[in-house]
Amino acid sequence: GSDPVALVSTWDFGAAANAAALARLNAGGSLIDAVEAGARVPEADPTNHSVGLGGYPDRDGRVTLDAVIMDDAGHIGAVAALEDIIHAISVARLVMEKTPHTMLVGEGARRLAIEHGMKTAKLLTPEAEKAWRAWLKTAQYKPQANIENQLPGPPGSALNHDTLGLLARSADGRMAGACTTSGMAYKMHGRVGDSPFAGHGLYVERGIGGATSTGVGEEVTRIVGTARVVASMRAGLPPQAACREAVEHIARLRGDAIREMQVGFLALSAAGEVGAFALLPGFTYAVTRLSGETQLLPSDSLA
C-alpha cells in the first residue's frame, strides 16, 4: 500500500524499539542500522528484565546476554553468554562486520567489545538482584508464559521473559532483523536459548521475508522455529498461517510437556504482510508503518 509496514517487533515495548529504528531509517540509515538502533532501546532500559541492563540473572546471579543481527544478503553476527556489556546487539554487529565468524561466546565476545571501545557495565541492577535472591529461597526453575500479562503481582516478581525480536523491511522488500535477550531468568550458567541462533530466534530471507520468536527458547530450538516459519512462507503460506503451523508443530511434538509455556512467532513477508501466532494468549507485537503509525496488537494463540 501507500503506507507499507516498515517494522514489526515483539511485545509492547516493541513500539519504542520500532520508533528508534524508524528514526534511524528516516535519517538515512541502513536496515541493519535500524534494527540495531531498535534493539538498543530495551537493552538500555533497566525496567525490562529480559534484555540487557536490568535483565534477570542466571541462577548464579550472572546476567548473560544473547543476540543476533542479520540481513537478507547473508550478513550475520551473533553473541551468546556475553557478560558486562549492555548492548549485546552492537557486539553481534561487530562479530558480523569485524570478524570472519558468525558467533562469539562469553569471554571472546566480551573481549571483542572492549577492543572496539565498548564500555563494561554492571548489568545486575539492585531490583534484579533482589528478585534473584527471592528466587533462591525456592530455587525452582519453572518458566512461565508472559506471566506479567497473565498474573497479577508487583513488577519484578515474575519470570518476565520478553525478548525483543525486530524485523525491518524497506519499501522495495529488502529485510533485516535483530533479536536480543538476557534469556530465561534463573537459567543454568552457560545456557543459551534460541535467540542468538539464525533459524531459531531470527531468520530473514531475501524475497521471502523474516520471522522472529519469543518464549521458551528450548521449544523453539527443537523445531528450528524461525527457519520453519520462513520455509512455510517460501512454500506459499501467508505469515500468519506460517507462524500458526510452527506453533501447532510444537504443540503436537511436545503435548503436556509444554503446558503453561509460551512460544510466540512473529513474521513479516517481503511484500509487507504481517502475521503472529503463539501457544498461549498474552503475546503482543508492534507494527509500525513507514509514516510512523504504530499499532500494538494481540497475537492469536492456540489456547
Residues that bind ligand SD4 (CB under 6 A): 50, 161-163, 181, 183-184, 193-195, 214-217
Residue 156 parent element (H or E)? none
Residue (50 or 90) nearer to ligand SD4, CB: 50
CB of 3 to ligand SD4, least distance (A): 29
Nearest C-alpha neighbor of 67 from the set 226, 221, 201, 184: 201
Q: Is 190 annotated as a binding residue?
A: no
Is 216 annotated as belonging to a binding site? yes
Q: Name, in order, each residue with C-beta under 8 angstroms of 43's C-beta and a sequence gap of 6 or more.
A: 51, 52, 53, 86, 87, 88, 89, 164, 180
| Catalytic option among 10, 163, 226, 284 | 163
Cell numbers at 4, concatenated: 507499507
Q: How far is the CB of 222 from ligand SD4 (least distance, A)?
A: 12
Smallest gap from Cβ 148 to ligand SD4, in A, equals 11
Task: Let me know if 221 is a catalytic residue.
Answer: no
Tell me: is residue 254 an annotated ligand-binding position.
no
Pick 183 or 275: Cβ nearer ligand SD4: 183
* 193 assigned binding-site residue: yes
* Residue closer to ligand SD4, measured from CB, 55 or 77: 55
What residues form the annotated binding site? 191-194, 214-217
Residues with catalytic roles: 163
